Structure 1
Amino acid sequence: MLSYRAYLFSFLIGVSTAAVGNFSHAAWWQMLLLALFWRQIHHHHFHGLKTQVYLGWLFGLGYFCQGIWWLYVSMHDIGGMPSLMAAGGVLLLSAFLALFPTLAVALGARFYNQSNSAIAWASAWTIAEWLRGNILTGFPWIGFGDAQINGPFQGLIPIFGVLGATFATIWGAYKIGSAPGRIFLPLFSLGFAIAICSFFEGIEFTKPVGKMLEVRLLQGNFPQTMQYDPAAINRQNNYYFNGYLNKAADLTVGPETAITLAENQIPKDWEDRLQNYLNETKGYVLTGVIGAKGDQYSNRAKAYGPNGESYSYDKSHLVPFGEYIPPGFEWFVRAIKAPLSQFTMGSNEQAHLTIKRSDEPDISAVVMICYEDVFGAEIAQRIRKFPANPPNLLINLTNLAWFGNTSAPWQHLRLAQLRSLETGLPTIRSTNTGVTAIINDQGRVVAQLPVFNEGVLTGSVQARNGITPYVQFGDMPILLLSIMTLVIGWRKKKLLSTMSTQTKVL
């Protein structure tokens, strides 16, 4: 009978793997912990698949409870939900997300043999992570490839995306875990793979276009509250109204819902003042507002430019239960009495923002609101849909005040860095409480504001032109590789099983 200590150990490995995500050299720490988890699975192989599945689910439960505990803050501290209900919500979501590591363990176990278990293990986890990012609107937060922004497999990200880094991370963890007893071959193959990935890091798929773009990114640091205070709302609106008129720049950006008014309620005299200012400075302002069309509202980014230029983008990937109520769940919302929004979903074929500068090439930018930059495949798809107007820059407007002073802002920053690596384009982020930052095309943060401080980040960003292999092909190559690997592994294992049976008969 399996000791309960083995189950506890798997849970604690999961907790630790998520906890080290913010550490320096997090990629190596996570690979070492995943290697321990693989040895745990390997050690209990002969207890049967059911035991391994339990171990996988407990690992996932620990991983997600630690990784997304900040949802408790949004539900309890901000949303006013009772503490037990909020904690239960985090636990239930973590238990559901833990099903994906469970699936990965189950798939990996089906192809267990000494000759192909490493690549089968990596393929199984890659497929499970892709499913996690797509099922029920998707939640690919804190993936195993995220830490590779500074890791040994960073060079794979512009080619295969974060799933490619996930594949390599799990494969590398297997090699580390299998090293005891036969040290040379596993570690040699791991070192060889890292050397190849280091070569890929030196490849530039995009090139600079035009002069540096001068940007101003506003961070108001206004607390989030569901009990709206009219005086606090006025202070916030006035801060951004005045901030956009304070100093000239090529592009000034405010965060998600920086202006809390519906678009049709924005004072006309302020829009006139802003238009006159932009006509004079030749700059652009991009701000978060509440989009309004009749009795329908949206989470909108609105841009103002010189000579009456304007642009609007409505968020297309809405947060279930945060920005819209999924069909059939109205009864649940009424039961918990949660004051949730019901926004209209924007089209996924909205054009990019265009920034015009005299004597310089136009700059095109992909605009994202809140956690839309979590979905790398969707960003790549948006870029592919406008081949005649390829973007040169990524812009994210977000408000993470919902999650307080937790790990959530830093997790989101890593995801923004991943998007720059995948696309070969720089990212600028304007947030309410942090992390407001400028990220270059290599995924490096070149400037940022302290979190939970009011401030304006002034800097320069180099727009880029070109396309990475990941943007061109998306997740398809790494998914096909993973599926083909599992099919080949299954056939190989079946063949070995048949040969073993025949040998016994003889």
Structure 2
Amino acid sequence: MTSRGDAVSRPARRPAAPLSHRVVLATGWTRRGLALLAGACGALAMAPVGFVPAMAVSLTVAVWLIDGAERTATSRSGARRHLGPTLRSAFSAGWWWGFGFFTAGLHWLGAAFLVDADKTAWLMPLGVVGLPAVLGIYAGCAFALARALWSAGPARLLALGFALLVTELLRGSLFTGFPWNEIGMALGSNLVLAQGASVIGLHGLTALAVPVFAAPATLADRDGAGRRNLAPTLLAALTLIGLAAFGVWRLAGGPAGDVPGVRLRIMQPDVFGDGEFTYENKDALLAKYLALSDRATSPDRTGLADVTHLIWPESPFPFILSRDPDALDAIGRILPKGTVLVTGAARVEGSQGSPANPPRYFNAIQVLEHDPASGAAAVGDTYDKVHLVPFGEYTPFLGLMERLGISQFVPIPGGFTPGPRHRLLHVPGLPPVVPAVCYEAIFSGGLVPRGDERLDRGVILNVSDDGWFGRTAGPWQHLAQARLRAVEQGLPLVRAANTGVSAIIDPYGRILEELPLGEAGVLDGFLPRSIAPTVFSEINQFIPSIAACLLLTVLFLVRYGDGRRRTRNL
């Protein structure tokens, strides 16, 4: 037997490395997997989940991944020697982070490929995996740019903020733009925090969100005495508290009241798929729309006679409304004098078989009124959609795509033609209308036309068809982004969506009335008044430049201050 004194002493177990060190030192597929999971976690901050702290986890890991983007060499003695930063490693981490973020946030796109599964199901990987893979390039470029500006200490948070702001701006403009779920929506999806958009807009929220949510990464930093640097995280927390306080103060102002004499009715038909939306079924469809629109919902809303403005969603007709006398006649018979119908509708210019004037199709919003002379509905003002959806409404590189068997979802010959510019829509009885067809509502600062009359009052009208995406996160994300346009501009938002979510939203972003997703019905309400022009509405074209310059200025001031302190300590 051995006594206790003779027992062999075992070496003490080494403490586990901190999480930050594990991320920084990760290599290979471990590093890629961490980046993928971190990006996917960030998508939880978006609607409909809206778990804001998820973006803090995502961007904290992003900072540590960029910290670890260094080339190293191992000497014969086993010591590791740093050879300096590598942009390739940073780009790789950023691409995997972006791939995770966009795959988790845009997975619902797969539903669109199942609408006509016989023709498009085989293309589903292009939407569910291919698009996130392409969008991941933006995040990869952001991580590489941030690494080029990288330094030790809190300044690196500003480098990442500047880089992601630049690439998010590019994502919203290159190739017609696809700014879906910009990082600032982590703040913009929360009604209280979203009030900051009235001053700095979505791009300003992005510039603010990145350093704020990435700040916990600096808790792993220690000075020469081994102390943690708490200042960046405390400053980030105070920034969020200040933003929330501003939001609470702004929302405490109460409702702005209603526009007198305007009684709205939004018709949500919930018509999509199952062979219902066909030309052969056009009469039944129109009959359904008219019956829904004239439905009694309360003692003071017994039908269209108690409505001043009827709103129908995007392109609800499987035919060209303005060229169908029977449809115009049916609408005119049920539309009372003084009631205006505003509806999405495809329209066409030119004619088949005319080489000199071939047909051009537009995705439009049209205004219809009862014509006493003919008894039919007469088409008034029209707005043509400017921002078309790639592969949905037009096909880039059409010849190549057709050879590959890839076509757009909407079966319009040659695709839709974009409208010439954003402009106001004039609707009798309403203040100036800012039209937004479908995903035009996700473009910050691009809706209100410049050069037209000043919008001291008005309303944003968003007609959409989110039926392509079923009962997924897509329609809720679309609603959240459209709602932020109301906050930015200080204008109410009226939204008519085929399958939902239809809503009336006040200029603070509060949803006053709402029709659930996937439910047919009508939504009655009044038009909220607009409020005084917001700071953002006055200077929105300058916000991205101001935000980028501020981030760069503070970045270099912090780096210069850190450099001077290190010099004094030598």
The TM-score, its normalising length taken from structure 2, stands at 0.78
Compared CA separation, residues 309 and 355, structure 1 to 2 (3 A): same
Check whether the contact 2:61–2:217 (CA below 8 A) recurs between aligned residues. yes
Q: Considering Cα pairs closer than 8 Å and 6+ residues apart, tell me whether 1 or 2 has the greater RCO.
A: 1
For 1:98, the aligned partner's letter is G
Q: Which residue of 2 aligns with 1:138?
A: 177
Question: What are the residue-to-residue correspondences of 1:253-292 with 2, within 5 Å?
Answer: 253-268=311-326, 270-272=327-329, 274-275=331-332, 278-280=335-337, 282-292=338-348
Check whether the contact 1:31–1:169 (CA below 8 A) recurs between aligned residues. no
Compared CA separation, residues 208 and 467, structure 1 to 2 (3 A): farther
Counterpart Cα distance in 1 of 2:118 and 2:539: 44
Question: What are the residue-to-residue correspondences of 1:411-426 with 2, within 5 Å?
Answer: 411-426=477-492
Check whether the contact 1:79–1:338 (CA below 8 A) recurs between aligned residues. no
The alpha carbon displacement at 1:230 in A equals 4.2
Check whether the contact 2:191–2:509 (CA below 8 A) recurs between aligned residues. no
Check whether the contact 2:391–2:407 (CA below 8 A) recurs between aligned residues. no
Check whether the contact 2:63–2:157 (CA below 8 A) recurs between aligned residues. no
**1:204-246 deviation digits (Å, cap 9, x = unpaired):** 8996573373211111111236896444443322222444455
Q: Which residue of 2 aligns with 1:352?
A: 425
Check whether the contact 1:252–1:286 (CA below 8 A) recurs between aligned residues. yes
The alpha carbon displacement at 1:336 in A equals 0.9
Counterpart Cα distance in 2 of 1:482 and 1:443: 26
Q: Which residue of 1 aligns with 2:208?
A: 168
Q: Which residue of 2 aligns with 1:218?
A: 267
Check whether the contact 2:347–2:364 (CA below 8 A) recurs between aligned residues. yes
Q: Which residue of 2 aligns with 1:111?
A: 149
Per mean C-alpha deviation after superposition, the further-off stretch among 394-403 and 216-225 is 216-225
Q: Which residue of 2 aligns with 1:460?
A: 526
Compared CA separation, residues 82 and 465, structure 1 to 2 (3 A): closer
The TM-score, its normalising length taken from structure 1, stands at 0.87
Q: Which residue of 2 aligns with 1:359?
A: none
State the SS of the aligned residue for 1:368.
Answer: strand
Unpaired segments ≥5 residues, structure 1: 357-361
State the SS of the aligned residue for 2:287.
Answer: helix
The alpha carbon displacement at 1:495 in A equals 11
Unpaired segments ≥5 residues, structure 2: 1-25, 73-84, 222-227, 296-302, 351-358, 372-377
> What is the aligned residue count?
493
Higher helix share: 1
Q: Which residue of 2 aligns with 1:325?
A: 395
Counterpart Cα distance in 2 of 1:42 and 1:364: 51
Counterpart Cα distance in 1 of 2:57 and 2:194: 17
State the SS of the aligned residue for 2:195.
Answer: helix
Question: What are the residue-to-residue correspondences of 1:96-495 with 2, within 5 Å?
Answer: 96-113=134-151, 114-149=153-188, 150=190, 153-180=193-220, 182=228, 184-201=230-247, 202-203=249-250, 210-211=259-260, 213-224=262-273, 229-246=278-295, 247-248=303-304, 249-268=307-326, 270-272=327-329, 274-275=331-332, 278-280=335-337, 282-294=338-350, 295-305=359-369, 310-326=380-396, 328-336=397-405, 338=407, 340-341=411-412, 342-356=415-429, 362-380=430-448, 382=449, 384-388=450-454, 390-483=456-549, 485-486=551-552, 489=555
For 1:2, the aligned partner's letter is T
State the SS of the aligned residue for 2:518.
Answer: coil
Counterpart Cα distance in 1 of 2:237 and 2:109: 38
Q: Name the Cα RMSD after superposition.
A: 3.2
State the SS of the aligned residue for 2:386.
Answer: coil
Compared CA separation, residues 46 and 487, structure 1 to 2 (3 A): farther
**1:171-211 deviation digits (Å, cap 9, x = unpaired):** 11121222345363123212332243235333489965733
The alpha carbon displacement at 1:260 in A equals 2.3
2:40 counterpart of 1:15: yes
Counterpart Cα distance in 2 of 1:465 and 1:442: 9
For 2:272, the aligned partner's letter is P
Check whether the contact 1:119–1:485 (CA below 8 A) recurs between aligned residues. yes
Identity %: 23
Counterpart Cα distance in 2 of 1:463 and 1:499: 54
Counterpart Cα distance in 1 of 2:275 and 2:168: 33
Counterpart Cα distance in 1 of 2:154 and 2:237: 19
For 2:46, the aligned partner's letter is G
Counterpart Cα distance in 1 of 2:506 and 2:33: 41
Check whether the contact 1:256–1:289 (CA below 8 A) recurs between aligned residues. yes
State the SS of the aligned residue for 2:434.
Answer: strand
Per mean C-alpha deviation after superposition, the further-off stretch among 257-266 and 162-171 is 257-266
Check whether the contact 1:400–1:431 (CA below 8 A) recurs between aligned residues. yes
Check whether the contact 2:495–2:503 (CA below 8 A) recurs between aligned residues. yes
Check whether the contact 1:429–1:436 (CA below 8 A) recurs between aligned residues. yes
